[in-house]
Structure 1
Amino acid sequence: MSNDIDNYDEESGETPALTDAPARKALGQHFLFDPSILKRAANAAGSVKGQTVIEVGPGPGGLTRAILNEEPALLIAVETDPRFSEALLGWPEAKSGKLQVIAKDARKVHWEKVLTEAGATTPVMIIANLPYNVGTPLLIDWLKAGAWRGRMALMFQKEVADRICAKPDTDAYGRLAVISQAVTRPRIAFTLPPGAFRPPPKVDSAVVEFEPLPPGERFEHLGLLEQIAGAAFGQRRKMLRAALKPFAKKRGMKAEAWLEDCGIDPTARAETLTQAEFRKLAESLA
């Protein structure tokens, strides 16, 4: 693919080669081109002006252009598809250093190293129309990140977005909600039908805004919390004493006694536990 900036469209921020490139199913690609939607997504987590922003999976660059239009100090775009990473390198902002393009699988990026080498100011914002096949693992990594990670606006399948924002005693409530809400305050900013994308996916999508909790409210033992929530919801139809039995046994404990010591009813089920109760279980082991 050519990245000759003679083909660059100043108004759209795209090259014909970028917009014409077909999505690859294996990479979970679904592209957005509506300027109003892209502008809304770029600002879903708040103003990016003067901020360092990370974007994963820029694809044809629609959201990339929308973010750049809001005048960030630096935009770091991570793209594994060489068709797009090569073309983005031809953009004027890439030439000037305002746009840094990393041609790599985002799951293999050492974020702190990248930010240090770029001289980026932190915390950074993360804004992305995430490929469906990597969205959840990337989110987990970012939730576990240190102080460098700031506000996020991430697009997921609507079902995943519902699970992230779910409350106890609902069908969508599970491991993802417990982990997400341990360090952030997530909310669905807006939803999109399949027809908004090219090619259209089979499901609705949603942009989730993640507001970091104040330092005193964030739970620090996130890895342990993830293990406990995973075990509890892995057999969500069972009572906690049964669902957590294998997890507790590995640690030389009896699940029922452990739950009782934490003031939790052993006959309860995982979906009834609050964020505070899951934290109590993790704190008892930390």
Structure 2
Amino acid sequence: MSGIDDLPPLRQVIATHDLSARKALGQNFLLDLNLTAKIARLAGDLSHADVLEVGPGPGGLTRGLLAEGARRVVAVEKDPRCLPVLAEIAAAYPGKLKVLNADALDLDWEAELQAPRKIVANLPYNVGTELLIRWLTPATWPPPWESMTLMFQREVAERIVAAPGSKTYGRLAILSQWRAEARIAMTLPPEAFTPPPKVHSAVVHFTALPAPRFEADARVLTRVVAAAFGQRRKMLRAALKGLTPDIEDRLIAAGLKPTDRAEQVPLEGFCALARVMTDVIAPAR
């Protein structure tokens, strides 16, 4: 096997293949291989796992994952311009890298990887939140992934780890903390990327819990939380009245104050509310 030292610098790769980042695809390339190696190490031991990477671009993080000993990497890249570059990395690591020219939102990714699975990605800004919610809310738990190490805009990362009562507390915090441990493991300034985004970025590491912290159906909880925070300035009885006419009685049955606002309700409270709403919002089958 050859490896990372035999591959040209990323800036040279981008120039050779004319890979200017495209805003429409949410692309901001991370070219510092020391940083990509550090992100790969945040994912823990990779030697026992298949790794899903979404949006590899020119392959900086891909190189880091392979160099850190990933058993196998499946990289999902929508931009066909990046495929020749990724093919060069695959040639340097025979049998270790599979590249799929696909949209991650349309892909049955589980079928492409053997368990145990990890997800490590510098997610495109325009689809990062939607992918995260999908990965956090499968119909059954434990999920198909063991851990996730994902880069977001720092604002999104702060929403993921937010506590009740804060302005950043909302749907992402509840869904992230319900069935996983989530922590901000690393922050990066705009100048780390090409082109530099207008915001700072952060890497969040998620470890799947063996069971949810509190009992609830994922579909019901998602609906309730979305409705509550969709009108977060309103009291719960007003924000949730569209779900059922007797919402005030159900809030009381869940141990919540109808006059509270969504940001005041802890995770346990939303799970209790989801449990008393299952006859209104049918649970997933």
Higher deviation after alignment, 40-49 or 51-60: 40-49
How far apart in 2 are the matches of 1:220 and 1:246?
20
Amino acid at match of 1:125: K
**Change beyond 3 A, Cα 1:198–1:213:** same
CA RMSD of aligned residues (A): 2.0
Query: Hey, what does 1:102 align to over in structure 2?
Result: 100
Given the alignment, which residue of 114, 131, 142 partners 1:138? Answer: 131
Q: Does 1:148 align with 2:144?
A: yes
Query: Hey, what does 1:39 align to over in structure 2?
Result: 37
Higher deviation after alignment, 53-62 or 147-156: 147-156
How far apart in 1 are the matches of 2:161 and 2:243?
26
How far apart in 1 are the matches of 2:11 and 2:266?
49
**Change beyond 3 A, Cα 1:93–1:15:** farther
Tell me, yes or no, if the aligned pair for 2:216 and 2:272 is still in contact at 8 Å.
no
1:148-193 per-position Cα deviation (integer Å, ceiling 9, x unaligned): 1110010000110011110100000001111111111111001111
The answer for unaligned runs of 5 or more in structure 1 is: 1-7
Give the C-alpha shift of residue 49 in structure 1: 1.9
Given the alignment, which residue of 209, 213, 220 partners 1:217? Answer: 213
Query: Hey, what does 1:283 align to over in structure 2?
Result: 275
Amino acid at match of 1:247: L
**Change beyond 3 A, Cα 1:224–1:208:** same
How far apart in 2 are the matches of 1:164 and 1:232?
17
Query: Hey, what does 1:207 align to over in structure 2?
Result: 203
Give the C-alpha shift of residue 14 in structure 1: 5.2
Query: Hey, what does 2:117 align to over in structure 1?
Result: 124
The answer for unaligned runs of 5 or more in structure 2 is: 279-285
Q: Does 1:177 align with 2:173?
A: yes
How far apart in 2 are the matches of 1:190 and 1:14?
22
How far apart in 2 are the matches of 1:184 and 1:267?
29
Given the alignment, which residue of 215, 227, 230 partners 2:226? Answer: 230
Tell me, yes or no, if the aligned pair for 1:182 and 1:219 is still in contact at 8 Å.
no
**Change beyond 3 A, Cα 1:185–1:167:** same
Q: Does 1:22 align with 2:20?
A: yes
How far apart in 2 are the matches of 1:35 and 1:15?
11
How far apart in 2 are the matches of 1:9 and 1:151?
28
**Change beyond 3 A, Cα 1:73–1:127:** same
Tell me, yes or no, if the aligned pair for 2:6 and 2:92 is still in contact at 8 Å.
no
How far apart in 1 are the matches of 2:57 and 2:161?
27
Give the C-alpha shift of residue 219 in structure 1: 5.0
Could you state the TM-score of these two structures normalised by the residue count of structure 1? 0.89
| DSSP 3-state at the match of 2:88 | coil
Tell me, yes or no, if the aligned pair for 1:9 and 1:15 is still in contact at 8 Å.
no
**Change beyond 3 A, Cα 1:216–1:136:** closer
Given the alignment, which residue of 145, 153, 162 partners 2:158? Answer: 162
How far apart in 1 are the matches of 2:11 and 2:87?
12
Tell me, yes or no, if the aligned pair for 1:184 and 1:212 is still in contact at 8 Å.
yes
How far apart in 1 are the matches of 2:97 and 2:214?
31
Amino acid at match of 1:88: L
Q: Does 1:187 align with 2:179?
A: no
Amino acid at match of 2:235: M
Tell me, yes or no, if the aligned pair for 2:221 and 2:274 is still in contact at 8 Å.
yes
Tell me, yes or no, if the aligned pair for 1:18 and 1:61 is still in contact at 8 Å.
no
Query: Hey, what does 1:198 align to over in structure 2?
Result: 194
Query: Hey, what does 1:265 align to over in structure 2?
Result: 257
Could you state the TM-score of these two structures normalised by the residue count of structure 2? 0.89
Amino acid at match of 1:226: T
Query: Hey, what does 1:81 align to over in structure 2?
Result: 79
Give the C-alpha shift of residue 223 in structure 1: 1.8
| DSSP 3-state at the match of 1:127 | strand
**Change beyond 3 A, Cα 1:22–1:186:** same
How far apart in 2 are the matches of 1:67 and 1:206?
18
**Change beyond 3 A, Cα 1:271–1:15:** closer
**Change beyond 3 A, Cα 1:151–1:219:** farther
